[in-house]
Amino acid sequence: MSKRVEELERLRQMSDDELIQKMEEVYRELFNLRQQQAIGKGVLERPHRIRMLKKTLARIKTLLTERYLLRSA
């Protein structure tokens, strides 16, 4: 399996509370990376990490929305 599929399966196994906690962690890390980039605190070691975090956030939000819609149906 690809890393993306493995990550998605790992996220699907988490509860809603765990997903929300993970989302907060990702938001914090993304904020810190963007802040480092904006300040110009040297070159980011892994600039691709910002893109990865944004995609992870989108996956988490999608899963939470899917679950919400399934419950309300």
Question: What is the pLDDT, as a whole number, of residue 42?
Answer: 64
pLDDT surpassing 90 at residue 2? no
Predicted TM-score of the model (pTM): 0.87
How high does pLDDT run on average in the chain? 92
Could you report the per-residue pLDDT of 21-43, keeping only the tens digit for each? 999 999 999 999 999 888 887 67
Domain ranges of the chain: 3-72
Angle between helices 16-39 and 48-72 (to 10 degrees): 150
Q: How far is CA 34 from CA 11, 48, 55, 62, 64, in A?
A: 24, 12, 15, 23, 25
Q: What is the CATH number assigned to the segment(s) 3-72?
A: 1.10.287.310
pLDDT surpassing 80 at residue 53? yes
Count Cβ atoms below 10 Å from residue 6 Cβ, excluding itself.
10
Question: What is the pLDDT, as a whole number, of residue 47?
Answer: 85
